[in-house]
Amino acid sequence: MAALEQLPKAELHLHIEGTLEPELALELAQRNGVALPYASLEELKGKYQFTNLQSFLDLYYELMGTLKTAQDFRDLALAYFAKVSTQGVRHAEIFFDPQVHVANGLDVNMVMDGLLEGMHIAKERYGITSGLILSIVRDMPLETAQSVIDSVKNRASDILGIGLDSAEVGYPPHLFTKQFQEAKALGWHRVAHAGEEGPASYVIDALDNLHAERIDHGIHSVTDPELLKRLASERIPLTTCPLSNRRLQVVGSLDELPLRNMMDQGVLINVNSDDPAYFGGYIADNYKALSEIGFTLSELASFAEHSIDASFIGDDQRRTLRQQLDEWKTKHSSLLKA
C-alpha cells in the first residue's frame, strides 16, 4: 500500500549487519577473497529458513565474515538507506556489533568510519538522519564488550547509544550493568533486547539495572500485568519487529503477536524490521504485514508517531517529523476514517 510506504516514520530496531542481502554477501566474499560454503546464490538463499534465534545467528555471523573494509561497511549502510528511502523512513538508529568484527580481525574504528561515511552520504542523498548504537553481543565474553567500549571512548560523540543483543536466554541484562553505567557516563542512550525469547523478568532487569530507555522486542512483557502497567506509566517504548518474531518462531503466526493487547493497555509500540535481509521484509513490509491481519491505517499511523516520539532526536527535528506526519494524515484523511 502506497500510503504505508509514504507514512513518515523512524526505524529504531535495525541491525545494520542484518541488512546484508545474499547478493551483496556473495559480492563482498568475491571482493575480499572469502570462501563461503555455497555453490550458488540459490543455495545460500535456501539457508534463510530458521527454527529459532540461534539458527539465524549461525548464518548471520558467518556472512558477517565477508565484511572486511571501510568500503564494505559504507556500501552495506548505503544499500539499507537506499531501500528505506522509498519506505517513509526519515530517521534511523542502527545497531552494529563491534565485538564480532573485532573477533574477525577488524579495527572497530575502521568499521565505524565506514558506517558513518555511509550514514553521512545517506543524509545528503536521501535526507535520512541516523545514529549508531554500539550493541553488546551478550553471549560473547564480557571482557570483549568492555574492550570495544574502551577502544571508542575517545570518539564517544560518534555513538548515539549502547544496546544489548544476540542470544538472550541465559544472559540476563544485569550481567552488563557496569558497561551500561559507563555508557551513561559517556552520554550514550541505553536500550536493550529483552523479552523476545527471554521472560518478562528480563525486561524488568533491563529497566532496573541497565536503566534502559527503550526495550527492544519486549513482547513477553504481556505475561506480566504489573510490568505492562509500568511500561505504560513510565512511557517506556517497545521496538517490536513482527516479521522477525514470526520468522524466528517466537510466535506461530502474526495473529499471535500481543501488540494490540499491549497497545490497548497504554504501552507505546513502534514497528521495525530487525534483520530485514533475513526475515523477509524491510520496515514497510512489517507495516503491511500488520495491515493484512487487521490493523487499521490509523493504528499503523500511531505506531509511526510512537517511533518519532521514541527516537533520540532533538526537539526541533521531532517537531519537523511530527509536522510531516500531520501532513500525511491530512492527505490520507479519507483512508484513516475508513
Q: How many domains does the chain have?
A: 1
- Per residue in 91-113, pLDDT tens? 999 999 999 999 999 999 999 99
* Containing structural domain, residue 83: 2-337
Q: Give residue 138's pLDDT.
A: 96
pLDDT band with cut points at 50, 70 and 90 for residue 1 = low
Is 196 assigned a catalytic role? Answer: yes
pLDDT band with cut points at 50, 70 and 90 for residue 148 = very high
pLDDT band with cut points at 50, 70 and 90 for residue 335 = confident
Q: Is 67 left (phi over 0), alpha (psi -120 to 50) or beta?
A: beta
The pLDDT of residue 147 is above 90: yes
User: Catalytic one among 11, 196, 197, 305?
Assistant: 196
216 annotated binding-site participant: no
- Per residue in 255-299, pLDDT tens? 999 999 999 999 999 999 999 999 989 999 999 999 999 999 999
Burial class (CB in 10 A: 0-12, 13-18, 19+), 305: buried
What's the grid cell of residue 77? 549502510
Distance CA 258, CA 13 (A): 18
Q: Give residue 251's pLDDT.
A: 94
275 annotated binding-site participant: yes
13 annotated binding-site participant: yes
The pLDDT of residue 51 is above 90: no
Q: State mean pLDDT over 139-155.
A: 97
193 annotated binding-site participant: yes
Q: Is 198 helix (H, G, I), strand (E, B) or coil?
A: coil
Percent of the chain with pLDDT strictly greater than 70: 99
| CATH code where residue 215 lies | 3.20.20.140
Question: Which sign, positive or negative, has the C-alpha torsion 135, 48, 90, 10?
Answer: negative
The pLDDT of residue 192 is above 90: yes
pTM: 0.96
The pLDDT of residue 338 is above 80: no
